[in-house]
A and B are shown apart, each in its own frame.
Chain A
Amino acid sequence: MQRTQRPRLSPITRRRLQVFRDNRRAYWSLWIFGLLFVVSLGAELIANDKPIVMQYQDQWYAPLLVDYPETEFDGFLPTTADYHDPFVYEQIERHGWMLWPPVPFSYQTLDRDIQGPVPSPPSTRHWFGTDDQGRDVFARVLYGFRLSVAFALALTAGSIVLGVVIGGVQGYYGGKIDLLGQRLIEIWSGLPMLFLLIILASLVEPNIWWLLGIMLLFSWLGLVDIVRAEFLRARNLEYVRAARAMGLPSHLIMRRHVLPNAMVATLTFIPFLFTGAITTLTALDFLGFGLPPGSPSLGELVAQGKNNLQAPWLGITAFVSLSVMLSLLVFIGEGLRDAFDPRHIVSAASPRPAQPHTPVQESLP
């Protein structure tokens, strides 16, 4: 049998993509956010206190990848070379050359050459100024953005896995499993997450993994209700009953027939999980219970803005970067929600999908 070319995406998926693309704001937000994230992934190449490559006495060095001791450049200390140090800097300039990133500061570089008091206002040297320890704000925002988004990504992915599995099992089997699961979840959701984090901060030195782990314990709770409801509804759909009558095992039915239904609700929930993760992390950092001191964090920048009202660039930068990031996410979320809304199709006046809807003649008149 000659099989005709099978479209890879189901018509439903194609229609949703089309609706999403037609929503200009969401579409552009997705692109801008994606671009910002990709750029921030290469933060080391943009803002760093080490040269990207350099030549010293006709030898190649890549300080970005390898830590060279100062003695390598005829210094005195066997510690990692500080390329901002006037002695090292001059040595290298005299016997070779260095290629610096566009911003020669990393998020934790203390700029000791600043004229005047810190925080210092924006200048050509520090585009967004420095904070009250003399660290470059642009570099901190760039690294902070990356850390926030990566944290939110990991948290969202973890929540989805946990939420879908637990909600799915409860919804699909129903009955006693569902009843027991729901009661356990009710008890679990009674635990105050923020207090737990604060208590934890006094017991251990919180790092990003601790925060991620603790928040993951709670962030899936919101998803369970949605996924469970979808599974409960879908398990009695006729095509699911048909699959059961065919003798398919439960895990296949769940994966192939029920999960695609539940994923719609889950996907619309993602942007809210994402923004929630970012704001929680920022709030913890602002309160000082979050990432260890020195980490690039937007919350810490907000706190600095609050403590240094005489340096408005701190507060403004924190505000703008957070609001741009969260607004972009909300726009994307809006677009996703519309794309998955079956009632939205009417207003999506768009060229017809590639495959026209042809209910072929029933061989009746």
Chain B
Amino acid sequence: MSRQRLFELRRLSVRFGDSVAVSNLDLHIDRGETVAVVGESGSGKSVSALGALGLLPPGSQVDGERTFDGQNLAQLSPRQWNALRGGRIGFVFQEPMTSLNPLHTIGKQLAETLRLHQGLRGEAARKRCRELLAQVKLPRIDELLAAWPHQLSGGQRQRVMIAMAIANDPQLLIADEPTTALDVTVQQAILALLDDLRRRHGMGVLLISHDLNLVRRHADRVVVMHDGTLVETGTTQAVFETPRAAYTRKLLDAIPEGRPARLPSAPEPLLAAERLGVSFARPKPFLRPRPPAFVAVEPLALQLRRGETLGIVGESGSGKSTLASALIRLVPAEGEIRFGERRLDKLSGNALRRERRQFQIVFQDPYGSLSPRMPVADIVSEGLRFHHPELDEDAITQRVAETLAEVDLPADCGARYPHEFSGGQRQRIAIARALILKPRLLVLDEPTSALDRTVQKQLIELLRTVQARHDISYLFISHDLAVVRAMAHRLMVLKEGRIVEQGDCDTVLTTPQSDYTRALIAAADLSLA
């Protein structure tokens, strides 16, 4: 079967000043084919695609042969580039929240691409817009055309982005992590849509992703990149079933595995909540009655025993983070919270602050959760200095060193600043900051979501070790079922602030009772693990 070569890169290299981002990359895409580029963050997968199409900021240098449909890309004039990008080559970027202009309606933004590349105006443009939105399977098209980006959900926005990308019947579609910011169930729908469009239009698709799960289902061929070089390439089946490179094997193995340690038969309860609910008042419009409060978490009951991990899963907006914040009194809530022997909901002011060392939290974003102006030793010791003013400088240094060693960080890192560390190391610093106070409860709010799979795996192992050593209870929030399965004893599935299902983790995952849980499990494709 001879296919037509659509896009080809030979010996592509991209440099930023002295540092080489991509070197000697060979890649080609035929018509109607999906080629996936996979690799961890910083492996140069996005940079190579952007570089090949001249979309990198000035200061970068791109070398090598680049051809698209027989045209040498290195010799294009700016005018030809503009006709090519957005016309014959479409793009879908990662962030659906920021890639639409918030000041224009959906209809206007779609019509703009049509006008620029096809000269369509007025009724003709509107008709084409409707067709496109129908193709990406969006509901209530006429309403949508007049809608503003902020009125759409993430998945809907990404569909609009895809509609814009295919508006001019491109021959090549470049999808740079098109689903990373979306919920799992939405991810599958978006990729199925891309598959469908590819078949119908005979497009070539370059799919850039770090998610092996998705790639395995949707790509024809795979290119594995590491540190800016090509590690392995081949058909999806070949790469996944008989990987040749050691790095590929490592990537494939990096699925969180193992199960949490068994609990003693009847551990005492640590945290219990009764009728815990969170609602936010909406602003009162002038001269009209106040609308009903927005209910983020419906009143629910919850129990966490000592040394136990309770996994809370759900898609974005399901209220899982709000629930956790409410439990540790970071957002106001109603209901009863019992922590150990104390009533947490009755505490306030200083008493609550003193109690806080018993329960700590680790946030999702390893880049935002550490103050960039403080060296690591200060970040880690801050809570200790406040809660234990009786400790002298030597004792504090001692405790900081112990805690850093516990989370497997080098001993000399205390004097360094957060920006010198990678995402996984920063997350370890955040964990050290929480652990130094010897808490009995640790709330982990998506602690692994921003990390690569291989790093996730190490972090999960670390968390399990720490739990076993100190008998800490975890409240583990995640949307990633594979990670939750490796961490949680019990599982609670939330949807729109309500408990859909809860119970023993393995039981819920193997015999889900509700449709929603089943959809989540199907989308996560746990069979791979």
Contacts and interface: CB of A to CB of B under 8 A. Distances in A.
Interface of A: 1, 3-7, 10-12, 237-239, 241-249, 252, 256-257, 260, 346, 355, 357-360, 362-365
Q: Give the most central of A5, A11, A12, A362: most B CB within 10 Å.
A: A362
Contacts of B372: 10, 12
For the complex of A and B, list the 10 residue pairs with the smallest distance between their C-beta atoms, beginning with the closest.
A247-B356, A238-B369, A247-B353, A1-B401, A238-B368, A246-B383, A6-B415, A239-B371, A245-B361, A238-B363
Given A242-B430, A362-B424, A1 B398 contact: yes
Given A4-B412, A358-B420, A346 B59 contact: yes
A239 B368 contact: yes
B412 A364 contact: no
A6 B375 contact: yes
Contacts of B363: 238, 241-242
B437 A362 contact: no
B422 A362 contact: yes
B489 interface: no
Interface of B: 40, 59, 226, 246-247, 250, 328, 330, 350, 352-357, 360-361, 363, 365, 368-375, 377, 382-383, 386-387, 397-398, 401, 410-412, 414-417, 419-422, 424-425, 430, 433, 437, 452, 454-455, 458
Contact of B455 (A6, A7, A248, A364): A364
A25 B38 CA distance: 48
A133 B430 CA distance: 71
Given A245-B360, A362-B424, A362-B425, A5 B397 contact: no
Given A1-B401, A365-B250, A238 B425 contact: no
Contacts of B365: 238
A73 B507 CA distance: 108
A116 B374 CA distance: 68
A247 B369 contact: no
Nearest to B453: A364
A359 B410 CA distance: 13
Contacts of B421: 359-360
Main secondary structure of the interface of A (DSSP, over half): loop
A46 B365 CA distance: 60
Contacts of A358: 420
Contacts of A241: 330, 361, 363
A3 B226 CA distance: 35
A235 B399 CA distance: 28
Contact of B330 (A245, A249, A355, A363): A245
A4 B414 CA distance: 8
B368 A246 contact: no
A11 B361 contact: no
A105 B218 CA distance: 89
23 contacts: A1-B397, A7-B415, A10-B372, A237-B368, A242-B361, A242-B363, A245-B330, A245-B360, A246-B360, A246-B383, A247-B353, A247-B357, A247-B387, A256-B382, A260-B373, A357-B419, A359-B420, A360-B420, A362-B422, A362-B425, A364-B250, A365-B247, A365-B250
A5 B387 CA distance: 27
B59 A5 contact: no
A172 to B, nearest CB: 15
Q: Give the most central of A5, A244, A246: most B CB within 10 Å.
A: A246
A31 B233 CA distance: 60
B383 A247 contact: yes
Contacts of B377: 3, 6
A246 B386 contact: yes
A245 B356 contact: yes
Contact of B369 (A4, A6, A242, A360): A242
Contacts of B247: 365
A359 B41 CA distance: 13
Q: Give the most central of A11, A238, A256, A346: most B CB within 10 Å.
A: A238
Contacts of B373: 10, 12, 260
Contacts of A252: 386
Contacts of A243: 382
Q: Give the most central of A7, A10, A12, A260: most B CB within 10 Å.
A: A10
A268 B267 CA distance: 57
A260 B419 CA distance: 17
A4 B411 CA distance: 10
A356 to B, nearest CB: 9
A245 B246 CA distance: 42
Contacts of B250: 364-365
A254 to B, nearest CB: 13
B430 A363 contact: no
A246 B437 contact: yes
A260 B372 CA distance: 10
A248 B454 CA distance: 34
Contacts of A359: 420-422, 425
B386 A248 contact: yes
Nearest to B451: A362
Contacts of A10: 372-375, 417
B368 to A, nearest CB: 4
Nearest to A260: B373
Contacts of A237: 368
B410 to A, nearest CB: 7
A364 B363 CA distance: 23
A176 to B, nearest CB: 13
A4 B330 CA distance: 36
A239 B418 CA distance: 12
Contact of A247 (B386, B416, B454, B455): B386
Q: Give the most central of B352, B371, B420, B421: most A CB within 10 Å.
A: B371
Contacts of A256: 371, 374, 382
Given A241-B361, A359-B425, 8 more contacts: A238-B363, A239-B369, A241-B363, A256-B371, A355-B420, A357-B420, A364-B250, A365-B226
Given A238-B365, A362-B425, A4 B371 contact: no
Q: Give the most central of B357, B382, B458: most A CB within 10 Å.
A: B382
Contacts of B360: 245-246
A244 B424 contact: no
A1 B353 CA distance: 30
B459 to A, nearest CB: 11
A361 to B, nearest CB: 8
Contacts of A242: 361, 363, 369, 430, 433
Contacts of B350: 249
A5 B433 contact: no
A241 B250 CA distance: 36
Q: Give the most central of A1, A3, A244, A260: most B CB within 10 Å.
A: A1
A247 B373 CA distance: 20
Contacts of B437: 246
A249 B353 contact: yes
Given A238-B363, A239-B368, A248 B383 contact: yes
Nearest to A5: B415
Contacts of A346: 59
Q: Give the most central of B226, B401, B416: most A CB within 10 Å.
A: B416
A351 to B, nearest CB: 13
Nearest to B372: A12
A246 B382 contact: yes
Contacts of A360: 410, 420-422, 425
Q: Give the most central of A4, A237, A247: most B CB within 10 Å.
A: A247
A242 B445 CA distance: 12
A362 B411 CA distance: 15
B414 A3 contact: yes
Contacts of A1: 397-398, 401, 411
Contact of A11 (B352, B355, B419, B422): B419
Nearest to B330: A245
Contacts of A357: 419-420
Nearest to B371: A239
A3 B455 contact: no
